[in-house]
């Protein structure tokens, strides 16, 4: 066996070591789905505390991605990976044995910090492990597929564990994979020297945290509870701080992100592509969950199992993304994925049968992941290996923001359509109460009504929900169609993008 084959096999073995922790970090976003009721009962958590137990992980993860990516560039991605794995393991144990809601919220916040050290570091390590463009593209396809699968698998694994163990098991499941990373990482992962003498931009770090946290918080709260001046204010604060962050990166002596990247069309287009696809994927996933439980009446666990169907499409299609990019060029291949997403949304809007909606969701997921794979690879292609941490982290932060925006915007579109249809079809003035606001409200109201009244209320509310789902699908399709046109236009202007475009030109 030649040295080249040995190096290739070693690189993929090292990638396998990275894959399990990456899967678990992505699963932690959704793994509490079934555990929250048990946690609430055992720890006597209030409704507000329940929300923070579930959401604080994602908030901290999103807020610290760019900062931890910059730390990886300074001290080396491998070192930060190992530190993050130890911290993630220790905090998982702390979360599992929490005795109060406050302790668990704090542990989930620290887990978010640990996740923020692991996600950009793994992508940075991919840049180091695979200097060959084709091999790197395949690795990025696998990385994207693993991340997407993890979010889908989280609720299912949670349900299985809770059938046999206490709620702390959903945290302890992290330990074996993190132990593997700590043991095998120093052997298989190449040492990344970093830039230890480079001054760290504390102000830039604070601005990045201040830009992401209030924006994601404001958007998620708006989606969950409706408009409030405080939520709009949080978003405005986040946008202002984002502008200040960009200005800081352009003027600082030692910026977290090379300011020339912020002028690179290839880099910014790739980040935008990731944001748009995350918008579509996460926004649609929320409706899928509600449709399966509230319209079809499935239990949460059965609904989670059905939700795995689109993930199967992702697993089948993600490896094709590098092939498409090589044959069509990155921009056109990304456009193909976006166009597939349009088709997926159109199928979802065309019929309310389960099989049809699952097919549409599968096509949407497959197309979106193809585009996200190509965009993530394009991000790495323009990055110097010494700067891959922060540059990759900005793309991941865009995905987090895109998901929050998808829930908020598509949720708002669906809510308007629901209220309009409910007002026309709900019987006996029930549209003035909670039934007129949401399907969940209608189901709750129906539980207190006689059967002769409950049936028509639920039936009308389910019809209104389907109208909202269709409206959200049309809105999502319109956004992806615009993005696809832009991508195809870019492909015509640059029919053969270079394998490693240089952002410094």
Over residues 142-162, the mean pLDDT reads: 83
Looking at the structure, tell me whether residues 159 and 291 fall in a common domain. no
Confidence band, pLDDT 50/70/90 cuts, at residue 6: very low
Q: What is the pLDDT of residue 491?
A: 58
Distance (Å, whole) CA 382 – CA 393: 14
The pLDDT of residue 105 is above 90:
yes
Which carries the bigger pLDDT value, residue 196 or residue 246?
Answer: 246
Q: What is the pLDDT of residue 445?
A: 81
Q: Are 477 and 346 in contact (CB under 8 A)?
A: yes
Nearest CA-CA partner of 336 in 377, 382, 373: 373
220's tokens:
């998620």
Looking at the structure, tell me whether residues 244 and 324 fall in a common domain. no
Phi/psi class of residue 195: alpha, beta or left (left: φ > 0; alpha: ψ in -120 to 50)?
beta
29's tokens:
């976003």
State which of 32-46, 118-132, 285-299, 356-370 shows the largest mean pLDDT: 356-370
Q: Are 30 and 154 in contact (CB under 8 A)?
A: yes
CA count, 13 A, side-chain hemisphere, 478: 9
Residue 132 neighbours by CB distance under 10 Å: 14
Give the Cα-Cα-Cα angle 440, 443, 449 (nearest 5 degrees): 150
Looking at the structure, tell me whether residues 226 and 367 fall in a common domain. no
The pLDDT of residue 337 is above 90:
yes
Looking at the structure, tell me whether residues 216 and 147 fall in a common domain. no
Looking at the structure, tell me whether residues 300 and 319 fall in a common domain. yes
The pLDDT of residue 499 is above 50:
no
Distance (Å, whole) CA 480 – CA 273: 10
Q: What is the CA radius of gyration of the chain?
A: 23
Burial class (CB in 10 A: 0-12, 13-18, 19+), 437: middle
Looking at the structure, tell me whether residues 191 and 244 fall in a common domain. no
Over residues 365-369, the mean pLDDT reads: 91
Distance (Å, whole) CA 82 – CA 60: 19
Looking at the structure, tell me whether residues 223 and 292 fall in a common domain. no
Per residue, the 3-state secondary structure of 338-404, as one string, reads HHHHHHHHHHHHHCCCHHHHHHHHHHHHHHHHHHHHHHHHHHHHCCCHHHHHHHHHHHHHHHHHHHH
The pLDDT of residue 384 is above 50:
yes
Q: Are 381 and 126 in contact (CB under 8 A)?
A: no
Looking at the structure, tell me whether residues 208 and 236 fall in a common domain. yes
Q: What is the pLDDT of residue 505?
A: 39
Over residues 364-388, the mean pLDDT reads: 85
* Percentage, residues of the chain above pLDDT 90: 21
Looking at the structure, tell me whether residues 293 and 403 fall in a common domain. yes
Q: What is the pLDDT of residue 197?
A: 65
Looking at the structure, tell me whether residues 228 and 296 fall in a common domain. no
Angle formed by the axes of helices 451-493 and 330-350, to 10°? 160
Please state the domain count of the chain: 3
Looking at the structure, tell me whether residues 292 and 359 fall in a common domain. yes
* CB-based contacts of 323, cutoff 8 Å, min separation 6: none
Q: What is the pLDDT of residue 261?
A: 80
Distance linking the first and last C-alpha atoms of the chain: 40
302's tokens:
């059965």
* Per-residue pLDDT reduced to its tens digit, 52-90: 887 788 888 888 888 888 888 888 888 898 999 999 999
Domain boundary among 147, 166, 196: 196
The pLDDT of residue 324 is above 50:
yes
Domain boundary among 253, 286, 320: 253
The pLDDT of residue 434 is above 70:
yes
**Could you tell me the CATH number of the domain that includes residue 113?**
1.20.1250.20
SS3 (DSSP) at 448:
coil
Looking at the structure, tell me whether residues 391 and 471 fall in a common domain. yes
Give the structural domain span for 240.
Answer: 201-253
Over residues 169-185, the mean pLDDT reads: 89
Q: Are 87 and 117 in contact (CB under 8 A)?
A: yes
DSSP secondary structure letter of residue 432: G
């Amino acid at each position: 066996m030649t040295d080249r084959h040995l190096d290739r096999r070693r690189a993929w073995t090292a990638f396998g070591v990275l894959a399990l922790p990456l899967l678990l970090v992505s699963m932690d976003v959704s793994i509490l789905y079934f555990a929250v009721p048990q946690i609430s009962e055992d720890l006597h958590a209030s409704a507000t505390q329940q929300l923070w137990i579930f959401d604080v992980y994602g908030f901290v993860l999103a807020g610290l991605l760019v900062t931890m990516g910059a730390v990886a560039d300074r001290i080396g991605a491998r070192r930060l990976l190992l530190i993050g794995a130890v911290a993630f393991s220790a905090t998982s144990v702390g979360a599992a044995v929490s005795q109060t809601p406050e302790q668990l919220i704090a542990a989930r916040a620290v887990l978010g910090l640990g996740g923020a050290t692991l996600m950009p570091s793994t992508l940075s390590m991919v840049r180091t492990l695979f200097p060959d463009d084709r091999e790197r593209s395949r690795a990025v396809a696998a990385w994207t597929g693993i991340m997407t699968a993890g979010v889908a698998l989280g609720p299912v694994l949670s349900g299985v564990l809770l059938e046999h163990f206490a709620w702390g098991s959903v945290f302890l499941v992290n330990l074996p994979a993190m132990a593997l990373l700590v043991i095998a990482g120093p052997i298989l992962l190449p040492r990344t020297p970093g830039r230890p003498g480079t001054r760290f931009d504390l102000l830039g770090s604070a601005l990045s945290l201040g830009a992401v946290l209030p924006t994601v918080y404001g958007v998620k709260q708006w989606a969950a509870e409706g408009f409030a001046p405080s939520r709009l204010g949080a978003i405005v604060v986040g946008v202002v701080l984002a502008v200040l962050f960009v200005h800081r990166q352009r003027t600082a002596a030692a910026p977290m992100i090379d300011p020339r990247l912020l002028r690179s069309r290839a880099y910014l287009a790739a980040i935008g592509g990731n944001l748009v696809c995350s918008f579509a994927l996460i926004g649609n996933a929320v409706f899928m969950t509600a449709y399966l439980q509230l319209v079809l009446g499935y239990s949460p666990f059965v609904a989670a199992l059905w939700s795995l169907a689109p993930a199967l499409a992702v697993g089948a299609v993600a490896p094709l993304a590098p092939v498409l990019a090589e044959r069509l060029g990155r921009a056109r291949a990304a456009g193909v994925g976006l166009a597939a997403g349009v088709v997926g949304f159109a199928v979802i809007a065309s019929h309310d049968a389960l099989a049809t909606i699952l097919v549409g969701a599968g096509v949407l997921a497959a197309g979106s992941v193809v585009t996200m794979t190509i965009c993530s690879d394009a991000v790495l292609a323009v990055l110097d290996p010494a700067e891959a941490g922060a540059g990759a982290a900005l793309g991941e932060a865009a995905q987090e923001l895109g998901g929050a925006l998808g829930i908020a915007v598509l949720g708002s579109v669906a809510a308007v359509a629901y209220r309009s249809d409910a007002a026309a079809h709900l019987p006996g003035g029930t549209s003035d109460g909670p039934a007129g606001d949401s399907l969940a409200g209608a189901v709750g109201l129906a539980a207190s009504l006689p059967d002769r009244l409950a049936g028509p209320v639920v039936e009308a509310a389910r019809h209104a929900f389907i109208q909202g789902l269709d409206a959200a699908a049309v809105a999502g399709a319109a956004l992806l169609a615009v993005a696809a046109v832009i991508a195809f236009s870019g492909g015509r202007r640059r029919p053969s993008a270079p394998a490693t475009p240089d952002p410094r030109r």
